[in-house]
Structures are given as C-alpha cells and as structure tokens.
Amino acid sequence: MEHSNHLIMGIITGMLFGIVLFKVGAVRYSRVEGMLLLRDLKIMKFAFTGIATASIIYGLADILGFAESTNLIPRIMPYMGVAHIIGGIMFGIAMASAGFCPGTCVARVGAGKFISAAGVIGLIIGVLIYNAIQPSLVEAGILGNKQDLTLYGVSGVSYGPLAVVWGVLFLIFALIADYVDPAKKFYQEKFSLNLIKDEWHWALGGVAAGSIIAWATAQGEYLGFSGALLALVGWVADSLGHPLSNVVPKVTEGIIWHAGLIIGVLPGAFLAAIISGKFKFDPVPPAFAQVAPMPWVRMILVFFAGMFLAIGALIGGGCTTGAFLAAYPTLSIGSMVMSGTYFIVGVLTANLIYMGRWSRFIEAKKASEEVYD
C-alpha cells in the first residue's frame, strides 16, 4: 500500500509537469531548437522563471523557519568533476540533434508525436548500456568522486537569503531574455485568458513549473527525468527478475515515486494536447524535416539521440530538468557545470546543423507556429 501511494503521487506530479511542458511549448521542436540557435528564447525564459520561483520558495521557507516542517529542504546534486563534462558533451550533441530532452521526448509521445517513440526506445537502451558500463566508469575514475559543492557553502552565505537573491537574479535574466528575444520579430506573446486552448505565456508556465518542483521536494523527492527514467527501467527489470544491480540495486519508495513521475508525463501531455485541440498523430515538424528529410533517417536520428541523452544524463548527473530547472534552486555547483557544458555544446551543435540554412529554419518556424509541433 505504501508503494502504491508513492506511485500515485509520482504519477500525479508527472502529469502536472507534463501538462506544463506541453502548454508552454517545451515539447515543440521549433522551440527547443530555436533556443539552441538563440533565435527563440521562450523556453529559456520559462526555465529562468521556473528556477526563480523554486529558489524564492525554498529561500523564504528557510528564512521564515518552516523549511523543515514543510520538508522544503532541496536535495543537493553532487559535484562529479570530469563526469559532468563527458556527460554534458554527449547530452548536448544529442539534444541539439533531435530537439528534445528525456522529459520532453516522453511528453511528445503523449501529444501524438509518435516518431518520438523511437527516442523513448533509445532512452531505455541507453539506461541498459549505462548499467553495463557503470562499473568500468567507476574503475576509470570518471564516476564515484562526489563532493557536496554549493554556492552558499563556498561563499559562506546562508542558504535562504542567497536563494532569494538567486531567484530575483533569474527573474531579471528572464526579463532581459524577453527584451532581446529575436522571436519577437515573428510574434508578440501576450497573456491569454483562454488557458485551456492557447499556449501558455512563459511566465505563467515558469511559475507553474517552479511550484511543482517545490511540491516534489515537499514530498521528499526530486524532480528529474533522467533519474525517473532510470527508476522506471530499474523497477521493470527488477519485476522481471533481471535487476539492474549496478544502478538500481534495490527498489525503494523513492524509485517507485520516480517511476511514477515519468509515467505520469504521458497522460499529462496527452490531456493537455486533447483539451488544447492540438493532438495530432506523428506530424513531423517542418524544421526537423529540413534536418532529416527521409523518414527512416529521422527515426534513426531520434533513436540514437534518445540513447545518448540517457547515457550522457546518467554519467553527468542530470538532464535539463534534473541538472537545470530543479537543480539551480539548490545552488549546486555540479549542476551548473553539467548544464553549462551541455548548453554550450548544444548551441554549437545546433548552429553547425543549420549552418547556411537559416532561412529554411525561419520559414519552417513560421509554419510550426500554426500547431504545437
């Protein structure tokens, strides 16, 4: 019964986050790739606002003295040195190649983009490969060297005040990104009163995401989708009598919660797509068709992107949610190294992919605005 409660809470949390991912447009290829091309900053603004929201919630809970009673004590992502660099490089190349991360890949399947199912299969294979190579990575010294390094630990400043300042700083970053956003040439985003049908404004989506991240913490868990993927595959493998002993030696309540988290993203994105009237079977985003015009090439690319996303995230310690959105409010230095690496590599990779084809991407992006691609 206890495990069932954890599974249900994980699913509910995943559903809520899946809804947010869809409604804010984070499942869209043109949004993710546009961010890496520095031509559409909506997802960046959304992420900055989410970080700000969670940081301020954690900081105020600490300052006002109710962090322990509400369990709003953020988990620290450890610093793992070279593992962040290796994992970040793999993750950045894969993310730019297919325009998704683990959470958005699963959400795309829920929204009817079934080409992303190849990415989900790749993610699962990536977890199995990671389980096989993990002992070798430890032996080579790439994994295993973990330190609790945080900004407040290094600076000597109390967490609460620093977290609030950090949150305000990221709100400023979001406003600056909004001011310089090149995508404003194509559309002027406004707050919509029709939250059911329309795509959400980045600020609304960010506040919702940050609040869900804090709620996950209040449940005693951590919102990260690469870890959730590992938990789900490990749980299923254990149920089949073939446990992933290197990475999931025991199925705990936390493992069950995280398995539910990634399961919940599917129905969450599905419901959001249905009520928005945007559920479509496997439409190929116009911009992605420019990258891989032949269907079988797209499927292969999506599969390998999923596989390398999983391996990179597990080596480096997190994905776009686990090492950025949910991790930055904890002021973890390890998360900053990991996310900084994959973002820089992702930007370079995306620009190499579209080198000389800017006009095609811009034309395709205009077409992509008509649907949640």
Alpha-carbon gap, residue 94 to 34, rounded angstroms: 15
State residue 294's pLDDT score: 76
3-class SS at 149? coil
CA atoms within 13 A on the CB side of 8: 5
Domain edges within the chain: 2-72+81-367
pLDDT digits (tens, 9 = 90+) for 196-254: 888 899 999 999 999 999 999 999 999 999 999 999 999 999 999 999 999 999 999 99
CA atoms within 13 A on the CB side of 78: 11
Mean pLDDT by 10 residues, the chain (373 residues): 83 98 93 92 97 98 96 92 97 95 95 92 97 95 90 95 98 96 79 84 97 97 96 96 92 96 97 91 74 80 96 96 96 97 97 81 71 63
> To 5 degrees, how large is the angle CA 12–CA 218–CA 19?
30
Q: Which residues contact 140 (CB under 8 A, 6 or more apart)?
A: none
Structure tokens at 132: 């096989």
CB 196: neighbour CB atoms within 10 A?
11
State residue 370's pLDDT score: 65
- Among 207, 221, 261, smallest CA distance to 15 is for 261
Rg of the chain's alpha carbons, rounded to an integer?
19
- The DSSP annotation for 302-354 comes to HHHHHHHHHHHHHHHT--TIIIIITTGGGTBHHHHHHHHHHHHHHHHHHHHHT
Alpha-carbon gap, residue 228 to 41, rounded angstroms: 27
- Among 246, 249, 229, 230, smallest CA distance to 238 is for 249
- The DSSP annotation for 281-308 comes to SSPPPHHHHHH--SHHHHHHHHHHHHHH
State residue 2's pLDDT score: 54
Q: What is the dihedral of CA 280, 286, 287, 292, to 10 degrees?
A: 100
3-class SS at 79? strand
Burial class (CB in 10 A: 0-12, 13-18, 19+), 84: buried
State residue 296's pLDDT score: 81
Distance (Å) of CA 311 to CA 24, 123, 205, 321, 372:
27, 8, 28, 16, 28
- The DSSP annotation for 83-123 comes to HHHHHHHHHHHHHHHHT--HHHHHHHHHTT-GGGHHHHHHH
Alpha-carbon gap, residue 4 to 9, rounded angstroms: 9
